[in-house]
């Protein structure tokens, strides 16, 4: 789906960067904050039918959960 406005463009561009290796989390964000951000982002992506971004978010979330030993959080 093509972005409707500047906020959607910013969201899509930001999430797309997560599929590469040249981005990082803010230093002060712990795992809980990262997962909360991803849960909220996933909800937004699904509501706006940004399926490619939803897949990226799920991959990043799964990576964090695997590396931290966290149990998956319900996001939907």
> pLDDT digits over 36-76, tens only?
999 999 999 999 999 999 999 999 999 999 987 655 544 44
pLDDT at 5: 87
Burial of 35 (0-12, 13-18, 19+ CB in 10 A): buried
Token pair, residue 30, equals 């712990």
pLDDT(1) > 80: no
Domain spans, the chain: 33-66
pLDDT at 76: 42
Among 70, 8, 10, 6, CA closest to 34: 70
Rounded mean pLDDT of 14-22?
A: 90
Check the CA dihedral 24-30-15-71 and report its sign.
positive
């Amino acid at each position: 789906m093509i972005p409707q406005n500047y906020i959607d463009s910013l969201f899509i561009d930001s999430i797309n960067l997560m599929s590469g290796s040249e981005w990082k989390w803010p230093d002060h964000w712990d795992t809980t904050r990262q997962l909360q951000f991803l849960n909220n982002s996933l909800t937004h992506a699904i509501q706006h039918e940004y399926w490619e971004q939803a897949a990226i978010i799920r991959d990043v979330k799964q990576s964090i959960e695997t590396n931290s030993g966290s149990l998956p959080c319900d996001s939907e």
